[in-house]
Amino acid sequence: PGGNVTGTSDNIPPRRQIDLALKLLPQAKRVGALYTSSEVNSQQQVQEMKEYAAAKGLTVIEATITNVNDIQQTVQSLLGKVDFIYCPTDNTIASAMPNIAKITVPAKIPVFIGDETSVKSGGTAGASVNFYQLGFQAGEMAADILAGKSKPADMPIGLQEDVAVIINPQTARAIGLVIPEDLKKSIQ
């Protein structure tokens, strides 16, 4: 926007993860924010999440890592202090999700993360974009530019409004999470 570049973004507002967490855990009062301190995107998402969580009456406990070697100790530091863990779309966290699940599942702590791959790798649930649809949307934008119908400077970054609710059934079962009937209909 305003230049010669436009496109789509896979950013999902943190409120979507928090709302999903509260739908599944209405009694939750404390959320752990697990993220990599050097990832600017994670810092920004956690800041948004903290503001939204505060408005929802949640206490946020931050736990940062600098690399994958910090995962075990950092995740264990949250046990007994939080009702669930929120993870932004963080590259280091995503790559470590199986190791995170090895700690959180036995402790029965749900992990909410905004990408389907991380949920399938051991996370509990999340609201995720459909990357096929996002690519299709970007393709439509490119076609409009190439056909002369639009200019990149005039096109806002495309966001996907209709996100998918993803739940890992094995993780949910292992931690004793009950999925409300009305939510079961929207699970992909």
pLDDT tens per residue, range 102-113? 999 999 999 999
Position 188 scores a pLDDT of 58
pLDDT digits (tens, 9 = 90+) for 38-97: 999 999 999 999 999 999 999 999 999 999 999 999 999 999 999 999 999 899 999 999
What is the reported pTM? 0.87
pLDDT at 186: 64
The answer to whether 96 touches 121, Cβ cutoff 8 Å, is no
CB 37 within 8 A of CB 88: no
Q: How would residue 164 be classed by pLDDT, with cut points 50, 70 and 90?
A: confident
- Domains of the chain are 14-118+169-175 (3.40.50.2300)
The answer to whether 10 touches 65, Cβ cutoff 8 Å, is: no
By three-state DSSP, how is residue 11 classified?
Answer: coil
Residues 2 and 69: their CA atoms lie apart, in Å, by 41
Nearest alpha carbon to residue 84 among 175, 178, 15 = 175
pLDDT of residue 159: 84
Q: Collapse the DSSP code of 7 into the 3-class scheme (helix H, G, I; strand E, B; otherwise coil) and give the result.
A: coil
List pLDDT tens digits, range 126-154.
988 888 888 999 999 999 999 999 999 99
Residue 148 structure tokens: 């002369």
